[in-house]
């Protein structure tokens, strides 16, 4: 008390004001969901409900779904996040009101050299980039890329020869399996020889660099901007970024070298149909069909890095878990192989047209993506106060779809933990709400490379199953054990046995 009495009135007022402002800063955001009438776990000042992630992302989402129902609210630090699994609301958020109110994805800031990637671009910037890139993902362009994907799939098949001969289990998350073929996919292999020579990342440089683009473990810097978002702008001005600068610079340099080489020899490159060439062609074109400005050098390089990351991580993850599901369900694997052998006799190569005939393979891929979607969440930021299903969502609230919860919801999926490709027959899909299955999102901001990704996975799996079968072994972890601090990173290796098929087993 004596210390207070010794304070000058000015100091006392200043101290009191600082205390009040601190209290307001700490407590002010946490009334939003209470005012909305939305249930959810009780937040703590500054951290919100972030501490619940220690249980694991999926575990926290599943527990909240069971406790609070289809709509609940959480706080990532001071950021209000509305979790939604109500399919009627999802239709309005992802499609009907997407362009007007829910255009943008959540942006954490400190994106540094990849701030222009399509994934986090906003409003007109996103629209322009999307319109420029869309022709590269047309059915015709994807069809032209089939030979490239076929060649890449052969790399994967060759990588399985040695472990098959030695009867050694294969770690499905090893670079030589799912991701090994994708080093060449987006850019037809050009440029990656130079990556190896540069020795920027010794010991498997491409996987190493891709791994370090994003901080694989929880970063204190992420906590700083989450709890103190007002620091984002000054940190950006200082050049601070969440992403590994060395890895980003590594890929930007390679993409720039490849781009310059192609620009100089443009006439010799006209036959190329990979993504980089299509972006270079679009950039050098005098006119664009949609009247939009062409990509800047920075935008082109950012999209190239994005395609590398998406192909390396998402597509390889799908191939990995598809192989695992086939090993655990030999009856399904046999049925897929019978379909492949019938449509592609004598080891014929799969292509754009023959894949359309493989209905059961499509069902197997879809079921794999339901159970092991490469993303456990997708989100949109409400950019103006909007009424969705009688619920008023204020401007600034992040709306998040917990895909893992949605894909395991027993209301839509009977025995959701069982692998059942029959869930995706034509009749079953028509009878089910389309918004309960969102591995590629939905609406205007869905995954632009969805068709290409599906074709890549199917061609790779076709070529493998024409030669080999997958089997569980003593080292197979059932079910897979995931790291609680990530979405799909495995706690333990995912090993299966690869067995060569006998000629008598194939349909001639």
Return the half-sphere exposure (C-beta side, CA atoms, 13 A cut-off) of residue 159: 19
Q: Would you say residue 432 has pLDDT above 80?
A: yes
Q: Is 8 domain-assigned?
A: no
**What is the radius of gyration, based on Cα positions, of the chain?**
25
Q: What pLDDT, on the 0 to 100 scale, is given for residue 379?
A: 94
Q: Would you say residue 260 has pLDDT above 80?
A: no
The boundaries of the domain holding residue 162 are 78-505
Helices (H) and strands (E) in the chain, counts: 23, 9
Residue 463's CATH number:
1.10.630.10
The answer to whether the Cα torsion of 461, 463, 465, 468 is positive or negative is negative
Q: Which regions of 247-342 does DSSP assign to beta strands (E)?
A: none
Q: Is 455 domain-assigned?
A: yes
Q: Is 116 domain-assigned?
A: yes
Q: Which residue positions form the known binding site for heme? A: 447
Q: Is 490 domain-assigned?
A: yes
Q: What pLDDT, on the 0 to 100 scale, is given for residue 199?
A: 43
* Tokens 């080999």, residue located: 468
Q: What pLDDT, on the 0 to 100 scale, is given for residue 202?
A: 46
> What average pLDDT does range 149-155 have in this prediction?
85
Residue 24 pLDDT level (bands cut at 50, 70, 90): low
Q: What average pLDDT is seen over the chain?
A: 81
Q: Which residue positions form the known binding site? A: 447
Share of the chain above pLDDT 90, in %: 42
Residue 300 pLDDT level (bands cut at 50, 70, 90): confident
Q: In total, how many domains does the chain have?
A: 1
Q: Which residues contact 355 (CB under 8 A, 6 or more apart)?
A: 361, 455, 458, 459, 462
Structure tokens at 45: 């000042």
Q: What pLDDT, on the 0 to 100 scale, is given for residue 338?
A: 97
The answer to whether the Cα torsion of 394, 395, 396, 398 is positive or negative is positive
- C-alpha 218/C-alpha 421 separation (Å) is 36
Q: Would you say residue 337 has pLDDT above 90?
A: yes
Pick from 109, 160, 221, 106: which is nearest to 470 by CA?
160
Q: Is 244 helix (H, G, I), strand (E, B) or coil?
A: coil
Structure tokens at 446: 């869905």
> What average pLDDT does range 130-142 have in this prediction?
86
Q: Is 63 domain-assigned?
A: no
Q: Is 23 domain-assigned?
A: no
Contact present, 149 and 189 (Cβ < 8 Å): no
Q: Is 38 domain-assigned?
A: no
Q: What pLDDT, on the 0 to 100 scale, is given for residue 479?
A: 87
Return the half-sphere exposure (C-beta side, CA atoms, 13 A cut-off) of residue 411: 13
Q: Is 448 domain-assigned?
A: yes
> What average pLDDT does range 56-69 have in this prediction?
93
């Amino acid at each position: 008390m004596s210390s207070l009495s010794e304070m000058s009135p000015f100091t006392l007022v200043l101290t009191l004001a600082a205390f009040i402002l601190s209290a307001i800063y700490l407590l002010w955001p946490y009334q939003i969901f209470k005012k909305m009438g939305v249930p959810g776990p009780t937040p703590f000042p500054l951290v919100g409900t972030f501490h619940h992630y220690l249980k694991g992302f999926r575990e926290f989402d599943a527990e909240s779904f069971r406790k609070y129902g289809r709509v609940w609210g959480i706080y990532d630090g001071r950021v209000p996040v509305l979790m939604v699994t109500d399919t009627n609301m999802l239709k309005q958020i992802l499609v009907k009101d997407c362009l007007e109110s829910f255009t943008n994805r959540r942006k954490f800031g400190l994106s540094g050299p990849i701030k222009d990637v399509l994934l986090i671009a906003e409003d007109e910037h996103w629209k322009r980039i999307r319109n420029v890139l869309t022709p590269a993902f047309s059915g015709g362009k994807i069809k032209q890329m089939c030979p490239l994907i076929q060649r890449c799939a052969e790399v994967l098949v060759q990588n399985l020869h040695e472990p098959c001969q030695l009867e050694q289990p294969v770690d499905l998350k090893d670079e030589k399996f799912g991701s090994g073929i994708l080093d060449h996919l987006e850019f037809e292999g050009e440029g990656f020889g130079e990556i190896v020579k540069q020795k920027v990342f010794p010991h498997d440089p491409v996987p190493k660099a891709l791994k370090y683009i994003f901080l694989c473990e929880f970063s204190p810097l992420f906590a700083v901007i989450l709890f103190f978002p007002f620091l984002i702008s000054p940190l950006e001005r200082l050049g601070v970024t969440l992403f590994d600068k060395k890895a980003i610079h590594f890929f930007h340099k390679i993409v720039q070298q490849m781009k310059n080489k192609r620009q100089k020899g443009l006439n010799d490159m006209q036959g190329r149909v990979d993504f980089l060439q299509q972006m270079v062609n679009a950039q050098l074109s005098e006119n664009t069909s949609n009247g939009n400005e062409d990509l800047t050098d920075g935008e082109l390089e950012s999209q190239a890095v994005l395609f590398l990351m998406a192909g390396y991580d998402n597509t390889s993850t799908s191939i990995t878990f598809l192989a695992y599901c086939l090993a655990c369900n030999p009856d399904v694997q046999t049925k897929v192989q019978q379909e492949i052998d019938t449509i592609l006799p004598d080891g014929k190569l799969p292509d754009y047209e023959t894949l359309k005939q493989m209905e059961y393979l499509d069902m197997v891929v879809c079921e794999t993506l339901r159970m092991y979607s490469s993303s456990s969440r997708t989100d949109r930021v409400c950019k103006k106060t909007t009424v969705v299903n009688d619920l008023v969502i204020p401007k600034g609230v992040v709306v998040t779809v917990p895909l893992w919860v949605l894909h395991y919801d027993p209301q839509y999926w009977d025995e959701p933990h069982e692998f059942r490709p029959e869930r995706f027959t034509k009749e079953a899909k028509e009878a089910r709400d389309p918004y309960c299955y969102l591995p590629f999102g939905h609406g205007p901001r869905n995954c632009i490379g969805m068709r290409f990704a599906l074709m890549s996975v199917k061609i790779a799996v076709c070529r493998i199953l024409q030669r080999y079968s997958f089997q569980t072994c003593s080292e197979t972890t059932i079910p897979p054990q995931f790291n609680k601090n990530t979405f799909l990173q495995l706690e333990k290796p995912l090993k299966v046995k690869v067995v060569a098929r006998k000629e008598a087993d194939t349909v001639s």
